[in-house]
């Protein structure tokens, strides 16, 4: 299984080590962990809502796309939902490829898709008031970039 | 036909429901939204700015022109903020 959606915390170091020990043909493993950031110092907690029927399916689809696009040997995506404290790990992506560039690009591609196409919604609760995090135009632009690149390659 | 409609994030908060079973003859997602907004102020507020609304039909991201024939589940939500 290449994707997991869970409420519980995960151990990013242990996940990366287990991933690496299962790799047989790759020369590069890239691991990215996203944390709950507290820009103002007043964040009480973050709440992540998701679409249970669709989330895992979407993550597996993106993992498969990245595998094909970058020739990855192995992919892992973990994404949490529910209530998270500042500094806690929200999600992680690990990729393995023969060479470094594909491993980095695969992780970057997955991150761009997770940001804007995986059915999660973040809410920040600070001093008793809750705000839904707005999607950023730059995240959409990053996604558009991937389709432009593949269009350029195909032409 | 009867469809399950799901709402997430602030769309859910404005509608006041996370899920409902709804009887409709709407041909497309856009037609369905046009029906929903007439139901009460919550729906009208949720769908006031359609540029801020995304839709999934049977758990696949879709668009407002998508046909609803044979569909079981429609979900409305704001742009996603994962990662």
DSSP per-residue letters across B36-79: HTTT-HHHHHHTS-GGG-EEEETTEEE-TT-B-TT--EEEEEPS
Identify the band that residue B68 occupies on the pLDDT scale cut at 50, 70 and 90. Answer: very high
pLDDT score of A1: 66
The predicted complex's ipTM stands at 0.95
Note the CATH number of domain A3-149. 3.90.1170.40
Distance CA(B55)–CA(B79), nearest Å, equals: 9
Query: Average pLDDT for residues B62-68, to the nearest whole number?
Result: 96
Q: Domain B2-77: give its CATH superfamily.
A: Beta-grasp domain (3.10.20.30)
Query: Average pLDDT for residues B47-66, to the nearest whole number?
Result: 96
**pLDDT tens per residue across all 155 residues of chain A:** 699 999 999 999 999 999 999 999 999 999 999 999 998 899 999 999 999 999 999 999 999 999 999 999 999 999 999 999 999 999 999 999 999 999 999 999 999 999 999 999 999 999 989 999 999 888 988 988 888 877 666 65
Q: Which two tokens stand for residue B59?
A: 């758990």
> At a CB cut-off of 8 Å and minimum separation 6, what does A149 contact?
none
Closest alpha carbon to B7 in B25, B20, B26: B20
> At a CB cut-off of 8 Å and minimum separation 6, what does A76 contact?
A2, A3, A4, A15, A19, A92, A93, A94, A95
CA distance to A50, B25, B35, B58, B77, per residue, from B6 (Å): 11, 18, 15, 11, 8
pLDDT score of A153: 64
Q: Is A86 on the interface with B (CB under 8 A)?
A: no
Chain B residues with CB inside 8 Å of A60's CB?
A: none
Contact (Cβ atoms closer than 8 angstroms) between residue A24 and residue A73: yes
pLDDT score of A148: 80
Pick the more confident residue, B64 or A137. Answer: B64
Closest alpha carbon to B79 in A59, A137, A77, A48: A137
CA distance to A37, A128, B2, B48, B73, per residue, from B67 (Å): 40, 42, 14, 21, 12
Contact B81 A133 (CB under 8 A): yes
Query: What is the residue extent of each domain of chain A?
Result: 3-149
pLDDT score of B58: 96
To the question of pTM greater than 0.90 for the whole model, the response is yes
Torsion from C-alpha of A40, A83, A76, A148, nearest 10 degrees:
-50
Query: What is the residue extent of each domain of chain B?
Result: 2-77
Share of chain B above pLDDT 90, in %: 100
Contact A115 B82 (CB under 8 A): yes
pLDDT score of A147: 82
pLDDT score of B54: 97
Interface of B with A in 41-60 (CB under 8 A): 56, 59
């Amino acid at each position: 299984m290449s994707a997991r959606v869970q409420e519980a915390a995960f151990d990013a170091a242990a996940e990366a080590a287990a991933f690496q020990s299962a790799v047989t043909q790759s020369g590069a493993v890239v691991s990215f962990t996203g944390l709950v950031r507290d820009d103002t110092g007043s964040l009480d907690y973050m709440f992540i809502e998701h679409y249970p029927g669709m989330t895992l399916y979407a993550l597996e689809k993106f993992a498969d796309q990245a595998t094909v696009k970058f020739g990855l040997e192995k992919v892992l995506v973990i994404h949490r939902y529910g209530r998270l404290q500042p500094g806690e790990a929200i999600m992680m992506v690990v990729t393995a490829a023969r060479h470094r560039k594909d491993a980095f690009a695969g992780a970057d591609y997955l991150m761009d898709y997770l940001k804007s196409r995986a059915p999660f919604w973040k809410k920040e609760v600070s001093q008793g008031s809750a705000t839904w995090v707005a999607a950023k135009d730059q995240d959409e632009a990053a996604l558009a970039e991937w389709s432009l690149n593949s269009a350029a390659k195909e032409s | 036909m009867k469809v399950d409609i799901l709402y997430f994030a602030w769309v859910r908060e404005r509608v006041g429901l996370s899920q409902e079973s709804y009887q409709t003859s709407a041909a497309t997602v856009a037609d369905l939204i046009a029906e929903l907004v007439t139901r009460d102020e919550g729906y009208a507020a949720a769908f006031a700015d359609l540029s801020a609304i995304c839709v999934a039909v049977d758990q696949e991201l879709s668009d407002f022109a998508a046909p609803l024939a044979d569909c079981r589940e429609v979900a409305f939500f704001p742009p996603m903020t994962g990662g």
